[in-house]
Amino acid sequence: MSKLISLEDAVARIPNGASLLIGGFMAVGGPNRLVDELIRQRKSDLTIIANDTARPAMGLGKLVVERLVAKVITSHIGLNPETQKQMIAGDIQVELVPQGTLAERIRSGGVGLGGVLTPTGVGTTVEEGKRTVEIDGKTYLLELPIKADFALIAAKQADLYGNLTYALTARNFNPIMAMAATTVIAEAEDIVPVGCIPPDAVMTPSILVDHLISNSNR
Amino acid sequence: MDEKTLIAKRVALELKDGDLCNLGIGLPTLVARYVPAGRNVFFQSENGIVGMSGPVAGADNHDLTDAGGSPISALPGAASFDSALSFGLIRGGHLDVTVLGGLQVDEEGHLANWMVPGKMVPGMGGAMDLVTGARRVIVAMQHSAKGESKIVKHCTLPLTSVRRVDLIVTDLAVIEPTDAGLVLKETAPGVTVEQVLANTGCELILSPDLRPMPLEG
């Protein structure tokens, strides 16, 4: 039942043009080994869904610099001038989503909901093209679910089944994204035998994780 | 005292004992330094922690940063969580106060702080959720930029939310948006009412209780 796979084999399963949910917040808690391997294997035309595009030389920011990204759905590109430059040049498509809305769109995708109703964005440019719903006199936007072909997740600790824990602010989008993809690939700082992580400590249950990157060749 | 310190010190007086507070990046982060003694304020960082504090030299942890990716520390009693819960706190009315920077605030108390079309498109990050959901929204900003007032009749930049902000603190004044319009409540040390009016792009109502800006609680 071990889900261990080599980094190279895991990334080889990702085709060009795939949609990827990528965990992390300014690359903290980001699957940075998987990202580097995407670059090494020159996976291109990717759609990236992530909180931010980090910095040019950091985490998934490097995918943008390497021009492997066709579209990004994100809340913040302010610290990666390369994303802004490619957006203005029309080389990359950027959909900006309020951060809380991004989290709930991914969550709803992963838990079988048809979307979420949020007051965030009402009356702003975010409302354009969206349905509104009035409930008890208050207006909400209908925000639709997000799902992807793959989720690339970074954990603090994993067991061989793929149960995951996260540390502090490195948790961020990881557990939400782990529910919203067809195939979930996780990397972890430490991999321990099954049974070492108590059930109450598991933050992402193993049944969500398809592949766990081996640490043997780090 | 420089202008940013003055703004941060005045904003800090608005924080109450027991408040949960989220500070935006930039000027607002300075506010944490000036919380009046005896007031226990919890700070949230929207990347997933309540109970954050400044960095501790030599104790950097690559799993513990603020929303800008800079190192922070966690106080005893802190709690960490995922992004959905973090924004549930913000949207769900569990956040007492947020302090955010601003590009423009208008007569109706509408804030614009996330983009300048064609020039700067950083994205809204958590700002739209914060302005929509926090119980109290305080804007901390310079009164003017490049010779132009940032307090205007109508925002020309895209709005962050249509929710009216609760207080505007600048290097010149403290202004409260109300149903009747913007009310001038305080003037900064050495600043006259005439100077505030001359540097403001819309009408201000003078508060009957207009006073000099206090800087100590």
What are phi and psi for residue A21, nearest 5 degrees?
-85, 125
Token pair 């702080």 is found at: B113
Question: What CATH fold (topology level) applies to the domain A4-113+145-213?
Answer: Glutaconate Coenzyme A-transferase (3.40.1080)
What are phi and psi for residue A106, nearest 5 degrees?
-70, -45
The low-confidence residues of chain B, meaning pLDDT below 50, are none
* N residues, chain B: 217
> pLDDT at position A216, please?
85
- Estimate to the nearest angstrom the gap between the alpha carbon of A124 and the chain centroid: 26
B90 — contact with chain A (CB < 8 Å)?
A: yes
Is residue B176 among the annotated active site residues? no
> pLDDT at position B42, please?
96
Token representation of residue B85: 């819960």
Q: Where are the domains of chain A?
A: 4-113+145-213
Tally of domains in chain B: 1
d(CA A202, CA A207): 12
A74 — contact with chain B (CB < 8 Å)?
A: yes
Count chain A–chain B contacts defined by CB atoms under 8 A.
146
Evaluate whether residue B47 is within a structural domain: yes
Residue A13 reports pLDDT greater than 80: yes
Mean per-residue pLDDT, A146-174: 98
Evaluate whether residue B217 is within a structural domain: no
Angle subtended at Cα A95 by Cα A91 and Cα A98, rounded to the nearest 5 degrees: 145
Q: Give the single-character DSSP code of A201.
A: G
d(CA A125, CA B161): 10
Q: Which of B46, B80, B124 sits opposite A96 (nearest CB)?
A: B124
| Residue pLDDT, tens place only, B128-167 | 999 999 999 999 999 999 999 999 999 999 999 999 999 9
Partners of A118 on chain B (C-beta within 8 Å) are: 91
Mutation to test the B interface, candidates A52, A84, A168, most B Cβ within 10 Å: A168
A110 — contact with chain B (CB < 8 Å)?
A: no
Answer for the pair A168, A25: CB distance below 8 angstroms, yes or no.
no
The pLDDT > 90 percentage for chain A reads 98
CATH of the domain at B126: 3.40.1080.10
> pLDDT at position A218, please?
66
What are phi and psi for residue A208, nearest 5 degrees?
-85, -20
| Residue pLDDT, tens place only, A129-145 | 999 999 999 999 999 99
* pTM greater than 0.95: yes
* N residues, chain A: 218
The domain containing residue B203 runs over which residues? Answer: 3-212
B163: amino acid identity, one letter: R
Residue A217 reports pLDDT greater than 80: no
B61 — contact with chain A (CB < 8 Å)?
A: yes
Q: Which residue has the higher pLDDT, A216 or A201?
A: A201
